[in-house]
A and B are shown apart, each in its own frame.
Chain A
Amino acid sequence: MSQRLAELAATTDLAADPVGFASDPWWLILFKAVLVFAFCVVMTLFAIWWERKVVAWMQMRIGPKHVGPQGLLQSLADGVKLAFKEDIIVKAADKPVYILAPVVSMVPAFMAFAVIPMGGQVSMFGHQTHLQLTDLPVGVLYILATASVGIYGIVLAGWSSGSTYPLLGSLRSTAQMISYEVAMGLSFAGVFLYSGSMSTSTIVGQQGDTWFAVLLPVSFIIYIVAMVGETNRAPFDLPEAEGELVGGFHTEYSSLKFALFFLAEYVNMVVVSSLATTLFLGGYRAPWPITAVWDGANSGWWTLLWYFLKVQLFLFLFIWLRGTLPRLRYDQFMRLGWKVLIPTSLVWLMLIATVRAMKNEGYDYRGIVLGIAGAIIAILVLSVVWDMFRGTDDEEEKAKAAQPPPGAPGAAEPFDPMAGGFPVPPLPGQELPPVPRRAVRRAEPVGAMVGNGNGTGSADDESATDATDKEV
């Protein structure tokens, strides 16, 4: 431990003049708390405007532009408008829970921000202090805890509305958030392994030389995916899929209660972006080309700038995803979480743990790399061999079955999916070519394949192919 602390002292400029987090006077704590709160609210207003603007540009529209310069005050105006709307409490609602749910969902979102390091050590009213409200030895764990409490707000809102859509939306949202919290938590473990600490400021300090995004690329990617799932944002915004669930858990909410849910969502976005910055992108430290030419980049108030820019990067990523990707289906979404992200992060964690343990034991670096590469290639070869034995029988059979025998009426004209330069559906008498996908593992219902093989009716063939496609 002491060696690690010495290492930390060498890499951080904080340690040059260490000021404890517990040494702030009470008025400074209060002032910083107000600042953090104001920062979150302003970031929310800004992010809503920025999101509308960017999505508008992506869709070749202009976006909000009338209220304030470039429409910057649009979200503030929307907030004021919401305040003057009727505060409806539906008849079937469980009143106390219904009223308190927005607050329950909003407060933890703000509280998570307390341990986010927004900058290094600065002087505030003659006091040396950190641009971080407080620093816990279990900082990241604390953020996970507040995120879990925030889920209560959503599930209570859906349940207490006494209405079908909100209930379904909140259940979905809960299932989604807890599923992705597992992947998120597993991606943190790699960071703890490298930093030897759960405190956010120590983790930032440990990234003096190399960002953890470079050392732990897989953890970083898994965290990025999980963070979008965790905040219920597109393409994972199934709880608010307006085509099926209207507004999801906040369908029955109006006026400022609705605004509070909105606030919670955007503050959560800022929190997870800040966490990504802190854990993987070196927090408030300047990126390397700048530190190489300018020594002062990592000191004082400048650190706030780097933090802010990195968070903006992630907020833009959120908006970009929303502007680009269609929403996932529920089963696709859960499959991604449980069958891809969780096993991948477990295997990755064991991999980096092995590498680190071998390094600690003093093994040769090249030997480790060769060993790992050999293991990966062996696994790949095994999986290819496994695929060859597994795929052949099923796929060939299906391809044969889908092609009507020559001379049958269905085979008269081959189907050209791009006839005339545009994608077109098959005409009557034509049929879709078999989709080159893996066979379904589950046994298909007996009726589904009856139409195939005898080559009598192409309509049957089509519906059978459709049914198969949906199941794959």
Chain B
Amino acid sequence: MNLYAPILALGGIAAAFGVVSLVAGALTGPKRYNRAKLEAYECGIEPTPQPAGGGRFPVKYYLTAMLFIIFDIEIVFLYPWAVYFDSLGIFGLVEMALFIATVFVAYAYLWRRGGLEWD
């Protein structure tokens, strides 16, 4: 656990700096009320009304997120395999080749179905 204490120390310093900056920014700056200044900025035109509850995200962003999870899990399996590769031998290589081939089938399907088009 002692290895992780320095990380907390550094995180604490950074967080303290951030909070101090936020407070300082609120205190040192001037305050001049102007109704237009508090509107959302849209290059000077009337701001688009925001839908209640934050609205919806385009579905393709969810698709990207799911793709990311697939490949991230692949990476999670790859790392320990790579670290202990030398002791696994040919068996480890064949196993991982099979695994990557399996994911690759999904990847090819996705590509073919247009999941990787972002026009």
Contacts and interface: CB of A to CB of B under 8 A. Distances in A.
Given A83-B24, A83-B25, A189-B82, A353 B96 contact: yes
Contacts of B100: 346, 350
Main secondary structure of the interface of A (DSSP, over half): helix
A361 interface: yes
Given A90-B40, A91-B39, A165-B41, A256 B13 contact: no
Contacts of A178: 64-65, 68
Given A37-B13, A91-B38, A113-B10, A182 B68 contact: yes
B25 to A, nearest CB: 3
A36 B10 contact: yes
B104 interface: yes
Contacts of A361: 89-90
A134 B7 contact: yes
Interface string B53-87: 01001100100110110011001001100111111
Contacts of A356: 85-86
B85 A196 contact: yes
B83 A198 contact: yes
A175 interface: yes
Given A171-B61, A189-B79, A255 B29 contact: yes
A107 B11 contact: yes
A197 B28 CA distance: 48
A354 B26 CA distance: 58
Contacts of B39: 90-92
Contacts of B64: 175, 178-179, 334
Contact of A342 (B13, B32, B71): B71
Interface in B1-23: 2-7, 9-11, 13-15, 17-19, 21-22
Contacts of A257: 21-22, 25
Interface stretch (A156-164, A317-325, A445-453): A156-164
B29 A86 contact: yes
Contacts of B31: 86
A349 B71 CA distance: 14
Given A87-B26, A260-B21, A353 B85 contact: yes
Interface in A327-371: 330-331, 334-335, 338-339, 342-343, 346, 349-350, 353-354, 356-357, 360-361
A196 B83 contact: yes
Contacts of A163: 40-42, 47, 50
B41 A30 contact: no
Contacts of B117: 331
Given A24-B6, A107-B11, 20 more contacts: A4-B86, A37-B14, A91-B40, A92-B39, A114-B10, A133-B10, A171-B61, A178-B64, A185-B72, A189-B79, A246-B43, A260-B18, A334-B116, A338-B116, A350-B97, A353-B93, A356-B86, A357-B92, A357-B93, A361-B89
Interface of A: 1, 4, 21-22, 24, 26, 29-30, 32-34, 36-37, 82-92, 99, 102-103, 106-107, 109-111, 113-115, 133-136, 141-142, 159, 161-165, 171, 174-175, 178-179, 181-182, 185-186, 188-190, 192-193, 196-198, 246, 251-252, 255-257, 259-260, 330-331, 334-335, 338-339, 342-343, 346, 349-350, 353-354, 356-357, 360-361
